[in-house]
Amino acid sequence: MNMLDLIIKKKNGIALSKEEIGYMIQDYTAGKIPDYQMSAMLMAVCFSGMDDEETAALTEAMTDSGDRLDLSRIQGIKVDKHSTGGVGDKVTLIAAPIVAGLGIPVAKMSGRGLGFTGGTIDKLESIPGFRTDISEDEFIRFVNNDGISIMSQTAELAPADRLLYALRDVTGTVDSIPLIASSIMSKKIASGSDAIVLDVTVGSGAFMKTEKEAKELASCMVRIGKKAGLNTRALITGMDEPLGSYIGNSLEVIEAIEVLKGNGPEDTKEVSFEIASQMLIAGKKAANREEALNMIQCSIADGRALEALRKLIRNQGGDAKVTEDASLFKKARIEKALVAENDGYVNEIRCDMAGNCVKLLGGGRQIKGEDIDPSVGLKLLKKKGDPVHQGEELAFIYANDEEKLKEAEKLLKGAYVIGREKPAKEDLILGIIS
């Protein structure tokens, strides 16, 4: 086979065979195909697309480019969860302990963040002492003993995806549904779970900007998962406003702990409980949504969910006292209130601007591998639809740098849109694809 021929074929809108895609991924991962040729192929895919068979073949080839995690030593149905990302998205920190407390083994590999804020791994590492670089044997032992473990993704897992993602990021080829779907699903399949629940976010704070795009991506990933023999379902959730009250790494862990205690913002609870309910259904612990939601409420009321989080923290070297004493988290040096300049209602909190505000403060990465500050972030006191009065506090900014604080304050002021009319309430759960 010849890579140039495959580029021309895809450029002309002709489907590639499974063998051709396998050759391409294998030789690129081995360094036999140069970046400039793979860049041309990625651009051809962006313009010409891929059908379901091609996308499934690409996912399989990327999955087979490295190791697969063998979770056969863990008893029960292993249910994984993945979000396409958003601002204030701390759902894993809530849903994972809930389902683990209800008897579904949670053996989860997660990634670090690049963009608005940290990923799940960054948030967990804001807990004093918490380790995510555990061995596979530790990972499996923790799940077998206590029902839950979350570790950072290994370099050996779907290495082709790591190479392709880095190339897509610098060649303007990120926004292709077949490429996004195969990237996510290759890692999920290689992670070894039996079922996958996907949270596909849509809105100004998400990668997918329209509901149509989000449903197309969700449907594509569900088809890939089913073709691979996995019980796969997806929720479409709104991300036009930050999720919850807190944005920032340690701040989001604090909010997650509050939800597991039965407190916390309603929007965070709604999305987290819907995701957890789908995980319970996929894991055959609940027959339907109503039964699952009842089980979730019981696990929070009797403390099982919070205890699962404590076990996760203790097993991986963290200080579980943070679940009772939030002062044990590293605290930002500066706290500044943003106040309303006029009366009215919060019509909008521009999600991307709020996320960029936290990134500017140091809570998110500008480049891969960059250190982040776990203590900085935002506390949103007023959300969409809330009435406000001139001089009233809208939010708090937590910072460690005066200059960054000034820039962040300007950005957050622009994110809040105050109007005279109260806006209509929007649904957070926009659809389920199974």
Q: Is 431 contained in some domain?
A: no
| 373 is an active site residue | no
pTM of the model: 0.92
Confidence class for position 174, pLDDT limits 50, 70, 90: confident
Phi, psi (deg, nearest 5) at residue 230: -105, 140
What pLDDT is attached to residue 118?
62
Q: What pLDDT, on a 0 to 100 scale, did the predictor assign at position 111?
A: 75
Which domain-ending residue is among 323, 355, 376?
A: 323
CA distance 115 to 117: 6
Query: Are residues 156 and 107 located together in one domain of the fold?
Result: yes
CATH number at residue 204: 3.40.1030.10
Which long-range CB contacts under 8 A does 17-24 form with residues at least 24 apart? 17/57, 18/53, 18/57, 18/60, 21/54, 21/57, 21/58, 21/61, 22/57, 22/60, 22/61, 22/64, 24/61
d(CA 168, CA 227): 25
Which run of H or of E encompasses 107?
strand 106-110
Residues 132 and 245 occupy one common structural domain = yes
Give the count of beta carbons closer than 10 Å to the beta carbon of residue 184. Answer: 23
Q: How many whole angstroms separate alpha carbon 319 and alpha carbon 303?
A: 18
Task: Give the CA distances from residue 226 to residues 56, 124, 160, 189, 194, in Å, rounded to whole numbers and listed in that order.
Answer: 10, 31, 22, 11, 11
The pLDDT of residue 368 is above 80: no
Same domain, 95 and 229: yes
Is residue 193 in a domain?
A: yes
The answer to the question of residue 71 being in a domain is: no
Question: Which residue in 168, 269, 304, 384 is the catalytic one?
Answer: 168
Task: Check residue 225 and give its pLDDT.
Answer: 95
Catalytic annotation present for 427: no
Q: Show Cβ contacts of residue 323 under 8 Å, excluding neighbours closer than 6 positions.
A: 257, 260, 306, 309, 310, 313
pLDDT of residue 378: 98
Do 146 and 281 belong together in one domain?
A: yes
pLDDT digits (tens, 9 = 90+) for 20-53: 999 999 999 999 999 999 999 999 999 999 999 9
Tell me whether residue 160 is in a domain. Answer: yes
Residue 113's pLDDT is: 65
Q: Is residue 67 part of a domain?
A: no
Say which of 187, 359, 379, 384 is annotated catalytic.
187
Distances (CA, A) of 215 to 130, 135, 152, 236, 261: 36, 36, 28, 7, 33
pLDDT tens, residue by residue, 345-363: 999 999 999 999 999 999 9
Residues 29 and 161 grouped into a single domain: no
Dump pLDDT digits (tens) for 190-240.
999 999 999 999 998 888 999 999 999 999 999 999 999 999 999 999 999
Of the candidates 183, 193, 204, 299, the residue annotated as catalytic is 183
What's residue 30's pLDDT?
A: 96
Active site residue 82: yes
- Asked, for residue 56, whether it belongs to a domain, the answer is no
Point out the catalytic residue in the list 81, 82, 269, 359. 82
Residue 118 phi/psi, 5° resolution? -70, 165
Is residue 342 domain-shared with residue 314, that is, in the same domain?
Answer: no
Do 147 and 265 lie in a common domain? yes
Tell me whether residue 69 is in a domain.
no
Average pLDDT over residues 73-92: 92
Indicate whether 190 and 211 sit together in one domain.
Answer: yes
Kind and range of the H or E element at 108? Answer: strand 106-110
**Among 291, 323, 355, residue at a domain's last position:** 323
84-93, 159-168, 182-191, 251-260 — which one is most confidently predicted on average? Answer: 251-260
pLDDT of 327 reads: 96
- Name which of 171-175, 195-199, 237-241, 403-407 the model is least confident about: 171-175
97 shares its domain with 225: yes
Partners of 432 in the β-ladder: 235
Averaged pLDDT of the chain:
94
Report the share of the chain in percent with pLDDT over 70. Answer: 98
Half-sphere exposure of 190 (CA within 13 A, CB side): 27
Only one residue has tokens 């609870």, namely 269
The CATH number linked to 44 is 1.20.970.10
Q: Which residues pair with 345 in a beta bridge?
A: 387, 419
The mean pLDDT value for 310-325 works out to 98
* Residues 98 and 179 both lie in one domain: yes
pLDDT of residue 207: 83
Q: Is the pLDDT of residue 183 over 80?
A: yes
Percentage of the chain modeled with pLDDT above 90: 86
Residue 314 domain boundaries = 79-323
Of residues 266 and 166, the one with the higher pLDDT is 266
86: nearest Cα among 121, 123, 116, 122 = 116
Count CB atoms within 10 A of the CB of residue 111.
Answer: 15
Q: Does residue 275 share a domain with residue 147? A: yes
With bands split at pLDDT 50, 70 and 90, how would you rate the model's confidence at 66? very high
CATH number at residue 385: 3.90.1170.30
Q: Is the pLDDT of residue 165 over 70?
A: yes
Does residue 55 sit within a domain? no
The number of domains in the chain is 3
The residue type found at 214 is A
Angle at 103 between CA 100 and CA 109, to 5 degrees: 40
Residues 262 and 357 in one domain: no
- Over 90: is that where the pLDDT of 85 sits? no
- Please name the helix (run of DSSP H) or strand (run of DSSP E) that holds residue 195, with its range, or none: strand 195-202
Using CA atoms, how far residue 99 sits from 74, 111, 306, 327, 399, in Å, is 15, 20, 11, 27, 34
- Catalytic residue chosen out of the listed positions 89, 122, 161, 373: 161
